[in-house]
Amino acid sequence: MTGETEHISARIEIDGQSYVLDADQDLDDVMSVIATAAGGPPSFVTNRSLGQTINVLMQPTTQVILYREHQSQIETVAALDLPRTDWELLP
């Protein structure tokens, strides 16, 4: 028996530089922090990418694109171990 689960990963592009965000980051929180920083005087925004901390200086002209990538994964939940019949052994 197999089950299908959906995995959502996120990638952020800041002024043309792309980063894969760590899975435990709240994407709504990331967007809110970036929007707040971009609306005021230049300030640093911190994100995590592949276990590393990234600090980016945000200002009103900084271009940011956030991609949410939905990926389906098929997982094996249980496998039946039935005896083979003779016809399954033929080449």
Residue 89 is assigned to a structural domain of this protein = no
H-helix segments, 4-70: 27-38
Residue 67 structural domain: 2-74
Contact 9, 69 (CB under 8 A): yes
Asked if pLDDT for residue 91 goes beyond 50, the answer is: yes
Q: What does the pLDDT average to over 61-83?
A: 69
Q: Any idea what DSSP says for residue 78?
A: -
Residue 48 is assigned to a structural domain of this protein = yes
Q: How far is CA 18 from CA 3, 60, 67, 72, 91, in A?
A: 32, 19, 10, 23, 50
Residue 87 is assigned to a structural domain of this protein = no
Confidence (pLDDT) at 1: 47
Taking only the tens place, the pLDDT of each residue in 12-59 is 999 999 999 888 888 899 999 999 998 899 999 999 998 899 999 999
Domain count, the chain: 1
